[in-house]
Amino acid sequence: GEVLAMVSRPAFDPNLFTGGISTKNWDAINNNPYHPMDNKAITGEYPPGSTFKIVTGTAALAADKVSPDELIMDAGTHWIIPKGNAGGEVLGLINFKEALAHSDNVYFYEMGNRLGIDLLEKYA
């Protein structure tokens, strides 16, 4: 695993610094609400999102909180938290394999609910 590429957006033109940057350009960069000089790829704090679903799902399987073929109802939002799938997608009855294939948020919210914070932390 070497890092082959890394991008942080928005960008700024580094040529502005050649020979000294003007006050106008410096202020424009520093007052930009999107903070272009922050390297978000390294310092940004973002939730892991879909990349963590495999951890949550594997933990639920290992802890016998779900079987691979058990069907979980995805009604579009989870019953505990008012969050759902991207685009409001409703997937109906869905098993582990299908949930991974569709990156089903509601299914994995339920797996997190069944695990509880202590077991999830143990497997993470």
pTM of the model: 0.67
DSSP state string for 35-82: -TTS-HHHH-----GGGGHHHHHHHHHHTTSS-TT--EEE-SB-SSSS
Alpha-carbon distance of 56 to 108, in angstroms, equals 7
The residues annotated with a catalytic role in the active site are 50
Mean pLDDT, all residues of the chain: 93
Query: pLDDT tens digit string along 40-61?
Result: 989 888 767 889 999 999 999 9
> CA 4 to CA 24: how far, in whole Å?
35
Can you tell me which residue has the tokens 């679903």?
53
pLDDT tens, the chain, 124 aa long: 798 999 999 999 999 999 999 999 999 999 999 999 999 989 888 767 889 999 999 999 999 999 999 999 999 999 998 889 988 999 999 999 999 999 999 999 999 999 999 999 999 8
Residue 71: exposed, middle, or buried by beta-carbon count in 10 A (0-12, 13-18, 19+)? middle
Q: What 3-state class would DSSP assign to 21? A: coil
pLDDT tens for each residue of 93-102: 999 999 999 9
The domain locations on the chain are: 1-45, 49-123
